[in-house]
Amino acid sequence: MIENLPLFPAQASGLAGQVDALYFFLIAVSAFFSLLIALLVIVFAIRYRRRAPDDVGAGITGSLQLELLWTIVPFGITMVMFVWGAWVYFALNRPPQAAMEIYVVGKQWMWKVQHPDGQREINELHVPVGRPVKLLMGTEDVIHSFFIPAFRTKFDVVPGKLTTLWFEATKPGRYHLFCAEYCGTKHSAMTGWIEVMEPAAFQAWLSGGAVEGSLASRGERLFQDLACHTCHMPDSQGRGPVLDGLFGKRVQLQDGRTVTADENYLRESIVLPQAKIVAGYQPLMPTFQGLISEEGLLQLIAYIKTLGPKAPGTSEAPEGSPAGGRTADPSTGSGSSRAQSRDERERAGVGPRERK
Amino acid sequence: MLDTARTRNYINAEYGVMSWLLTRDHKRIALLYLGSITTFFALGGLFAVAIRLELLTPAGDLVQSETYNKLFTMHGVIMVFFFLIPSIPATLGNFLIPIMIGAKDLAFPKLNLLSWYIYMIGGTFTMWAVISGGVDTGWTFYTPYSSAVSNTHVVATALGVFITGFSSILTGLNFIVTIHRMRAPGMTWFRMPLFVWSHYATSLIMVLGTPVIAITVLLVFAERVLKLCIFDAACGGDPVLFQHLFWFYSHPAVYIMVLPGMGVISELVAAFSRKNVFGYSFVAFASLAIAVLGFLVWGHHMFVSSQSVYAGMIFSILSFMVGIPSAVKVFNWTATLYKGSISWEAPMLYAFGFIGLFTIGGLTGLFLATLGLDVHVHDTYFIVAHFHYIMVGGTIMAYLGGLHYWWPKITGRLYPEGWAKFAALVVFVGFNLTFFPQFIVGYLGMPRRYHAYPEEFQVLNVMSSAGASILGVGYLIPLVYFFWSMRYGPRSGANPWGAKGLEWDIASPPITENFVETPVVTEGAYAYTHGRMNVV
Amino acid sequence: MSEHIVPTRVYYLVFLALMVGTAATVWVAYLDLGFANTAVAMGIAVTKATLVILYFMHVKYSSRLTWVVVASGFIWLGILFVLGLTDYLSRGWLPQPGVPRI
Amino acid sequence: MSSAQTGTSAAHAHHPAQAHHFDSLEQQQEASTLGMWVFLANEVMFFGGLLMAYLVYRTWHPDAFAAGSAHLDIPLGAINTAVLIFSSLTMALAVHAAQTSWRRGQIVFILLTIALGTTFLVIKGFEYADKFTHHLVPGPHFEWPDEKLRAPVQMFYSLYFALTGLHALHMVVGIGIMLWLLWMARRGRFSAQYYSPVEVSGLYWHFVDIVWIFLFPLLYLIGAHVRHV
């Protein structure tokens, strides 16, 4: 029976220990106060039990000192919880720069995973141990939530935007993946496994299996298929803004605002191009809402992220490596860097049909 | 039927079904509510039984996923909107507030009756949704699932919730005006029982919060039926906006459910310790503080929803703030026991249970306000356990305690004390066995609303289901002896507990006008001893 | 009822002010003041609403309790707007180490 | 709480409108006024939820909302604003007539209020009809020449119809209340001693006016300068 009665989840990520420390602190505080209250109630209830039917209690009305005490002490303790909790929360929300990127799409009722090198998985995610992994996540339909108890982290995937979640697995093994936000009939079947592997085994896994081409190369194919390249030219001759070197930069908008060209900006600019018009350009771009699947969007974004700033004098053949100066770009992780090197090898591969 | 003593009272004042259906007497309306909410509680309880049965085994083998999803949705909708929110205010509050402040009735008796009819119409819509196939969105109605995807009876349920909201608004309005305008001569604010204070705070939330959920479910309805674009990301909308609007009401709604319970506990602790509530004014203002601060914390339901992390920080710190007045209340109740004259009658046992369980429920709320920790426990069984500790361990304990305490006043009869003590014990044991394992299984990572779950969670789930069956028995016992006591219970007399309060100065059951003469109040509530002294 | 009876002259004056306000808000709407357009439009609307509340609805002559109820309605509206907008206005502020901010 | 039971139930004659559970007519009238104010605070939040949505989306899609707004008829909106303000004046005068026991004044001003309220709804009806003919009603038949802006403009019109529709619904209810007041006034129910139904209904009517005072600039005017420069 006892082996079937786990009391504590596996601890398999860098931040899990921090979350657990916070948890134990709160348990200690809670246990102390619950027992204190329970003890006082029991002691008073017995010690001062009614001995004669017409007894009355003592004429005590209150005490300002005590009220202050039990206002200030809980306040102090909760502020400790707040600061500590916020600290951990920020850590959970800020992926390290070197994180490898994996793209996840939730849909009723499965998790579809795309690795930068092109491997795809459903309801499974293979990651190496000891390396930060950043998931860039979207959804095709309703809200889901990507939840890995062993890593003590989860994040919702929300229609209309991309969200991120990161972790660094510390122990090889197989861990539960759950959808934590109710998403319809088979919500409880939208589960899977996180397979944490030793780096060597992970490399072996990456190179095994049929691969259709890296994510970025599939994005590039989509970029051509959708004729994005007719307006977004690598030089400023096009009708649309230059995308090379765009990712991570500040963009001046027509209405005077400045935004950072992050993944959500790219996504929105494809789906709702009118929302943010780049200064100096006409609002000409049609919306691609409904024309590209969420996975396709992620591929396009992966592609655009690989477009480094154009090095002066480099010739830009249509099929040429768009990665000209990308090593100088600090904004992309090493994960997509390798994607780039595989890019040309996989170019011949047939891209998946992305139109609905 | 109920009491048919020779003396005239509100029960035997008139006879016949119509005398009840058209009554404007707040006490009779309270009984109408008592009957209806008990029915809804039983129904919601049946859904809970089905849920716990399904979760006995890891595989989803008792019912289909569709059915299971409908079960927990209907359990949530009925328990929240049709039982917990009206429970104490519409029954005990309705019955007692005018009496406690020395008034003949609520300020707007017809509106009070209308509130009950609105509640019943809302209930009918929801029941129609249940009977015609159910709804599977979860009681939270998150878009876009509710507005675009689910093909169940979302519209009828949303309309039911919308309509019932107005019942709640009008009840709150009635209470606020009554408390402001109908107090007897000498009944100053700081002579009012804390039960009235907590209902005043509750009414504020009802009036200022409920309209927001009303418009929100109306927008879901409009999106589904009229094809408006409000939360749909395809129109450039934000599904997270729905969550903001939903929780703007639904978090304060938690305080609608628990504040009246706190008021009951203040009365019980004072009456069965025969003592002033310690720090009366702190407890009174804590109610108001909870009502106001409760509106500032809704974003703690959205820490992983893609809400801004800075908004998350603000909501987190404010959530800790709202914990403090709750802590103040618990400490004050405990201090009230000190040097009291404590008797261990059934209502007091429920009060003890409330204090313990509410403490655990409140403290585990801190886990959820803590940003870094909530990321892990959000949407797991940890949260399920937490809010059941507040709502079942808190509100229902207080409701049962209050019902026992005022039962002699309502019916003029005593319930069987031995059975009542036994039932209180059964409820306490059953409750803890049901919900404590859920904290553990939640931290292990079992998500809520799961029809099937991994095998390693089974033992804890079996414990939970076993507890639920004990809890169910614990609720059935009072149902039986309350009915029994209406006919066979010994007559109680005006004040069986030797308690203070205007309600104990009048006959049991009271006459229709409550008071023969308008009382003039000369003392504060809980004046068991006349001398004043402070604890050192 | 022992309530203050407002002379009708006050009602006509307030009516006049409201009409002027309406004309002004339409007129201003056609001028290009940049961001100030919204501010002016809302300013005029708030002024008009205040006039209606104070005079037509007699709040100027009412008890403190009425003032509190009126104020609480708007304070709660403020809570909804302000706390709601803390989310919308601060999204994307968190510097992501992978994305340089300039 | 021990309390002396002293007799306060006075022997003096009650006003026929006084309900049994109030000690005096004054207490009753104060209660109804407070009740209406509390109800209006609740109404503020009812519109508040929608206004919150409007606020968020207007900042998200300023251009689309301006474009959608450009198809609203500013002159009609302005006329309607004036009509409603005028009706608020007649309502205030009706309350005044009740306070001064001027029965004829009550009837005239309530009738005027009803007429102005109906005028508002008729003009609004013409505006709605125009939106129907131009396929600006959200849903499958929604059309917008600029395909790129279609989605957010549809959202603008969703909020437009939700806000103005809810407002119009309040107007309809208000006119219903006015008809009831008219009936009561004709029977001479209101006087300087008892006029709280008129006053309380007036509060409601003015509130509906205030909602429109905000809706008019929000929906019609903001962004109007862009298309005229």
**Any idea where the domains of chain C sit in the sequence?**
1-57, 63-91
Which residues in chain C touch residue A96, judged by CB atoms under 8 angstroms apart? Answer: 97
Length of chain A: 356
pLDDT at position A316 = 38
Given CB atoms, is C34 within the 8 Å cutoff of chain A? no
Out of C92, C95, C99, the one facing A331 most closely (by C-beta) is: C99
Q: Which of A199-203, B85-89, B357-361, C35-39 has the lowest mean pLDDT?
A: C35-39
Phi, psi of B372 (to 5 degrees): -65, -25
Report whether A192 contacts A163 (CB < 8 A).
Answer: no
CB contact under 8 A, B311 and C83: yes
D6 within some domain: no
Whether residues A294 and A230 fall in one domain: yes
Query: Chains meeting B at 3+ CB pairs closer than 8 A?
Result: A, C, D
Interatomic CA distance for residues B22 and A13, integer angstroms = 64
pLDDT at position D12 = 52
Which residues in chain A touch residue C99, judged by CB atoms under 8 angstroms apart? Answer: 248, 260, 262, 331
Which residues in chain B touch residue A88, judged by CB atoms under 8 angstroms apart? Answer: 371-373
Using the predicted structure, report yes or no on whether residue B390 has a pLDDT greater than 70.
yes
Single-letter code of the amino acid located at A310: K
Q: Which residue of D has its CA nearest to B504?
A: D1
Using the predicted structure, report yes or no on whether residue A54 has a pLDDT greater than 60.
yes
Question: For A266-313, how does the pLDDT look when each residue is reduced to its tens digit (9 = 90+)?
Answer: 888 888 887 788 887 877 787 787 788 888 888 888 888 888 765 444
* CA distance readout (Å), D161 to B222, C80, D223: 10, 22, 19
pLDDT at position A2 = 53
Question: For B398-411, how does the pLDDT look when each residue is reduced to its tens digit (9 = 90+)?
Answer: 999 999 999 999 99
Report whether B135 contacts B150 (CB < 8 A).
Answer: yes
Given CB atoms, is C87 within the 8 Å cutoff of chain B? yes
D14 within some domain: no
Q: Which residue of A has its CA nearest to C102?
A: A250
pLDDT at position B496 = 94
CB contact under 8 A, B176 and D38: yes
Name the D residues in 30-49 with CB < 8 Å from any B CB: 30-31, 34-35, 38-39, 41-43, 45-49
A45 within some domain: no
| B454 confidence band (pLDDT: 50, 70, 90) | very high
Q: Which domain holds residue A281?
A: 215-346
Total domain count for chain A? 2
Which residues in chain D touch residue A271, judged by CB atoms under 8 angstroms apart? Answer: none
Using the predicted structure, report yes or no on whether residue C100 has a pLDDT greater than 80.
no
D2 within some domain: no
Which residues in chain C touch residue D194, judged by CB atoms under 8 angstroms apart? Answer: 1
Out of C26, C65, C88, the one facing D34 most closely (by C-beta) is: C65
Out of B180, B229, B517, the one facing D34 most closely (by C-beta) is: B180
Given CB atoms, is B421 within the 8 Å cutoff of chain A? no
Which of B149, B448, B413, B96 is closest to B268 using CA atoms? B96
Mean pLDDT across chain A? 82
pLDDT at position B139 = 95
Using the predicted structure, report yes or no on whether residue A156 has a pLDDT greater than 60.
yes
Mean pLDDT across chain C? 87
D116 within some domain: yes
Out of C97, C100, C101, the one facing A95 most closely (by C-beta) is: C97
Q: Which residue of B has its CA nearest to C86?
A: B311
| B108 confidence band (pLDDT: 50, 70, 90) | very high
pLDDT at position B101 = 96
CB contact under 8 A, D214 and C81: no
Among A145, A179, A211, the domain-final residue is A211
Whether residues A28 and A173 fall in one domain: yes
Mutate to test the interface with B, among D21, D30, D148, D155 (most CBs of B within 10 A): D21
Which of B245, B218, B247, B239 is closest to B145 using CA atoms? B239
What average pLDDT score do residues A169-177 get? 95
Out of C65, C90, C91, the one facing B180 most closely (by C-beta) is: C65
Total domain count for chain D? 1
State ipTM.
0.91
Interatomic CA distance for residues A193 and B238, integer angstroms = 30
CATH number, domain of A266, equals 1.10.760.10
Using the predicted structure, report yes or no on whether residue A324 has a pLDDT greater than 90.
no
Lookup: tokens for B482? 């309350």
Distance from CA of B301 to the nearest CA of C (A): 13
CATH number, domain of D218, equals 1.20.120.80
Given CB atoms, is C78 within the 8 Å cutoff of chain D? no
CB contact under 8 A, A134 and C98: yes
Given CB atoms, is B376 within the 8 Å cutoff of chain A? yes
A47 within some domain: no
The 8-class DSSP code of residue A273 comes to: T
CB contact under 8 A, C22 and D82: yes
| A333 confidence band (pLDDT: 50, 70, 90) | very low
Distance from CA of D229 to the nearest CA of C (A): 7
Mutate to test the interface with A, among D63, D146, D153 (most CBs of A within 10 A): D63
Lookup: tokens for B452? 């099937």
pLDDT at position D1 = 39
CB contact under 8 A, B180 and D47: no
Q: Which domain holds residue D43?
A: 25-228
CATH number, domain of A188, equals 2.60.40.420
D217 within some domain: yes
Mutate to test the interface with C, among D79, D93, D213 (most CBs of C within 10 A): D213
| B349 confidence band (pLDDT: 50, 70, 90) | very high
Name the C residues in 54-93 with CB < 8 Å from any A CB: 92
Query: Chains meeting C at 3+ CB pairs closer than 8 A?
Result: A, B, D
Interatomic CA distance for residues B155 and D63, integer angstroms = 33
* Residues linked to residue A113 through DSSP beta bridges, in sequence order: A104, A121
Q: Which of B295-304, B520-529, D126-135 has the lowest mean pLDDT?
A: B520-529
Out of D27, D52, D56, the one facing B181 most closely (by C-beta) is: D27
Out of A248, A264, A333, the one facing C100 most closely (by C-beta) is: A248
| A210 confidence band (pLDDT: 50, 70, 90) | low
- The model carries a pTM of 0.90
Interface A-B, measured as beta-carbon pairs within 8 A, has a size of 322
* CA distance readout (Å), D221 to B309, D154, D202: 34, 18, 28
Q: Which of A179-183, A321-325, B57-61 has the highest mean pLDDT?
A: A179-183
Tell me which of A340 and B68 has the higher pLDDT.
B68
Percent of chain B with pLDDT over 90: 92
Which residues in chain B touch residue D151, judged by CB atoms under 8 angstroms apart? Answer: 229, 234-236
CB contact under 8 A, D210 and C53: yes
Among A170, A189, A211, the domain-final residue is A211
Q: Which residue of D has its CA nearest to A270?
A: D148
Q: In sequence order, what are the residues at sequence separation of 6 or more whose Cβ sits closer than 8 angstroms to the Cβ of residue D180?
A: none
Using the predicted structure, report yes or no on whether residue B536 has a pLDDT greater than 60.
no
Whether residues A148 and A258 fall in one domain: no
Question: For A4-50, how does the pLDDT look when each residue is reduced to its tens digit (9 = 90+)?
Answer: 678 899 999 999 999 999 999 999 999 999 999 999 999 999 999 99
Burial class (CB in 10 A: 0-12, 13-18, 19+), D99: buried
Interatomic CA distance for residues D50 and D160, integer angstroms = 10
Whether residues A222 and A268 fall in one domain: yes
Using the predicted structure, report yes or no on whether residue A214 has a pLDDT greater than 90.
no
CB contact under 8 A, C76 and D37: no
Whether residues A180 and A243 fall in one domain: no
Mutate to test the interface with B, among A32, A60, A139 (most CBs of B within 10 A): A60
CB contact under 8 A, D147 and A275: no
- Helix or strand or coil: residue B533? strand
Using the predicted structure, report yes or no on whether residue B534 has a pLDDT greater than 90.
no
pLDDT at position B507 = 92
Q: Which residue of D has its CA nearest to B172?
A: D38
Which of A295, A297, A301, A270 is closest to A285 using CA atoms? A270
Tell me which of A333 and B190 has the higher pLDDT.
B190
Domains of chain B: 17-505 (1.20.210.10)
Report whether B138 contacts B72 (CB < 8 A).
Answer: yes
D139 within some domain: yes
Among A190, A211, A232, the domain-final residue is A211
Question: For B433-451, how does the pLDDT look when each residue is reduced to its tens digit (9 = 90+)?
Answer: 999 999 999 999 999 999 9
Name the C residues in 9-28 with CB < 8 Å from any D CB: 11-12, 14-15, 18-19, 22-23, 25-26
| A232 confidence band (pLDDT: 50, 70, 90) | confident
Mutate to test the interface with B, among D3, D28, D59 (most CBs of B within 10 A): D3
* Residues linked to residue A195 through DSSP beta bridges, in sequence order: A126, A174
A152 within some domain: yes
Using the predicted structure, report yes or no on whether residue C97 has a pLDDT greater than 60.
no
pLDDT at position A322 = 35
Question: For A78-120, how does the pLDDT look when each residue is reduced to its tens digit (9 = 90+)?
Answer: 999 999 999 999 999 999 988 999 999 999 999 999 998 888 8
A353 within some domain: no
Given CB atoms, is B196 within the 8 Å cutoff of chain A? no
Q: For the sheet containing A124-128, what is the strand order?
A: A124-128, A192-197, A173-179, A144-148, A153-157
Whether residues A311 and A178 fall in one domain: no
Using the predicted structure, report yes or no on whether residue A59 has a pLDDT greater than 90.
no
Which segments in chain D show pLDDT lower than 70?
A: 1-13, 227-229
pLDDT at position C96 = 57
Mutate to test the interface with C, among B173, B178, B215, B244 (most CBs of C within 10 A): B244
Using the predicted structure, report yes or no on whether residue A321 has a pLDDT greater than 80.
no
CB contact under 8 A, A29 and B320: no
